[in-house]
Amino acid sequence: MSDIVIPTQLYLISPLDVSGDFPKRLENALQAGKGVVTAFQFRVKGLGQHEAASLAEPLQAICAAYDVAFIVNDSVALAKRLKADGVHLGQDDGSLREAREELGREAQIGVTCHASKHLAMEAGEAGADYVAFGAFFDSSTKDKGDAERPTPEILDWWSRVFEIPCVAIGGITPVNCRPLIEAGADFLAVSGAVWNGDEAEAVKAFSDVIAGTPRPER
């Protein structure tokens, strides 16, 4: 068993509207979260690829300046066009193996697995770089619908059995995130808790909880 425990990190997910002053807000968040925020997901809906790319490019440049991975949600084509660091795939977003063929070995490819151990194991076997479980709490970003709600136990199980990182997502705030960290979440994927208020203060609040919450050794 290793005596090195890597702290949980933050994985920011964009709001659907990234126009206007959002680039500055992203920079504020990354400045406040140096060493804690390590990934950013570009998540917009209903836009053509050209418009999406125009919005993404300045955000991608900001992420590069802060050494934060720039991940595109859903679209392998957009990720390839932007030469993004990776793509995040939902269960209806196509084959992971095909995404790997398009984006190459170095791309970071993550997969939404909801509350399913089976889906997570399938993703791991297919070569996912991380698996995402959620929604853990009520969320305006991740529509739970009638899907089963995961519990922290699935994070504990995954991190004890597999080396592939796991991401917790869905309604996560500085107030409710502690059990997810304690269960072994490698990343907390957060959106509304950051962008619905002062982004720098929110990131600092998450950082304080992460720093004060021990993760289990594996």
- Residue position matching structure tokens 């995404």: 99
What are the helix and strand counts (H, E) for the chain? Answer: 9, 8
Q: Work out whether strand 86-89 and strand 69-73 pair parallel, antiparallel, or are unpaired.
A: parallel
Residue 216 covered by a domain: no
- Tell me what the mean pLDDT of segment 135-162 comes to: 84
- 37-to-2, 58, 69, 94, 187 alpha-carbon distances in Å: 24, 18, 9, 28, 9
110 DSSP β-pair partners: 88, 130
Residue 2 covered by a domain: no
Q: For residue 1, what pLDDT band results from cuts at 50, 70 and 90?
A: very low
- What's the predicted TM-score (pTM) here? 0.95
Q: Which two tokens stand for residue 41?
A: 């997901």
Residue 199 covered by a domain: yes
Residue predicted with more confidence, 49 or 4: 49
pLDDT digits (tens, 9 = 90+) for 57-66: 999 999 999 9
Residue 196 covered by a domain: yes
Q: Any alpha helices (H) in the chain, and if so which ranges?
A: 22-32, 49-65, 76-82, 96-103, 117-126, 152-161, 178-183, 192-195, 199-211
The pLDDT value recorded for residue 215 is 85
Residue 217 covered by a domain: no
Amino acid identity at 114: H
What's the structural domain count of the chain?
A: 1
Residue 3 covered by a domain: no
The pLDDT value recorded for residue 2 is 40
- Tell me what the mean pLDDT of segment 83-102 comes to: 96
Domain hosting residue 116, numbered range: 22-211
- Residue position matching structure tokens 């679209």: 75
Q: For residue 142, what pLDDT band results from cuts at 50, 70 and 90?
A: low
Amino acid identity at 101: E
Residue 145 clears pLDDT 60, i.e. is over it: no
Q: For residue 217, what pLDDT band results from cuts at 50, 70 and 90?
A: confident
Residue 46 covered by a domain: yes
Note every long-range contact of 115-120, with CB atoms under 8 Å and residues 24 or more positions apart, other chains counting. Answer: 115/147, 115/148, 115/149, 115/150, 115/151, 115/154, 117/154, 117/157, 117/158, 119/91, 120/154, 120/158, 120/166
- Here the CATH number for the domain that contains residue 152 is 3.20.20.70
Cβ pair 100, 123 in contact under 8 A: no
pLDDT digits (tens, 9 = 90+) for 190-204: 999 999 999 999 999
Residue 5 covered by a domain: no
Amino acid identity at 185: A
The pLDDT value recorded for residue 5 is 65
57 vs 82: CA distance, rounded Å: 7
- 53-to-18, 46, 47, 57, 158 alpha-carbon distances in Å: 12, 13, 9, 6, 35
